[in-house]
């Protein structure tokens, strides 16, 4: 069973029709998001021109039986702290929101689908990065 966490950048690329992500997502059994990802998406919707359309697409996405929302809890915070310490020790920080996303992936044993190269600095997670032109 293949389970992944879909990063904000990958969700956006998928919704824009990224062929590689479309194929990859068809091959997974479970697609997870967390409140940080959904918050980033909704902030973008509020700042964009197509808020209603984007919210409707997100609702349809969550209606899939393969999609679920992960909680952020005490266990996530322990993993967050471990990742921050490791990144700072290696002098390779990444954006704070992305550390929370990585911590969720680590906690739940999920690979991360993303278009962002900085996730590759997090040794505690498996990353599948998709290039965007």
Which pLDDT does position 40 carry in this prediction?
A: 97
State the burial class of residue 99 (Cβ atoms within 10 Å of its Cβ: 0-12, 13-18, 19+).
Answer: buried
For 95, the domain range is 3-129
Per the prediction, the chain carries an average pLDDT of: 96
The 10s digit of each residue's pLDDT in 42-68 is 999 999 999 999 999 999 999 999 999
- Global pTM value: 0.93
CATH number, position 25: 3.40.50.1010
Distance in angstroms (rounded) separating the CA atoms of residues 43 and 47: 6
Which pLDDT does position 30 carry in this prediction?
A: 98
Upper half-sphere CA count for residue 111 (Cβ side, 13 Å) = 16
The 10s digit of each residue's pLDDT in 67-104 is 999 999 999 999 999 999 999 999 999 999 999 999 99
Distance in angstroms (rounded) separating the CA atoms of residues 103 and 121: 13
The number of beta carbons lying within 10 Å of the beta carbon of residue 48 is 10
Q: How many structural domains compose the chain?
A: 1
């Amino acid at each position: 069973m293949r389970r992944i966490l879909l990063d904000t950048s990958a969700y956006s690329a998928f919704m824009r029709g990224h062929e590689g992500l479309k194929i990859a997502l068809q091959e997974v059994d479970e697609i997870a998001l967390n409140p940080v990802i959904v918050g980033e998406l909704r902030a973008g919707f509020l700042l964009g021109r197509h808020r209603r359309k984007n919210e409707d697409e997100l609702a349809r996405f969550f209606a899939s039986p393969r999609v679920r929302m992960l909680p952020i809890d005490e266990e996530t915070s322990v993993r967050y702290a471990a990742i921050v310490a490791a990144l700072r020790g290696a002098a390779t920080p990444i954006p704070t929101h992305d550390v929370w996303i990585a911590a969720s992936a680590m906690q739940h044993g999920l690979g991360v689908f993303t278009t962002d190269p900085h996730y590759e600095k997090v040794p505690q997670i498996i990353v599948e990065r998709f290039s965007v032109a």
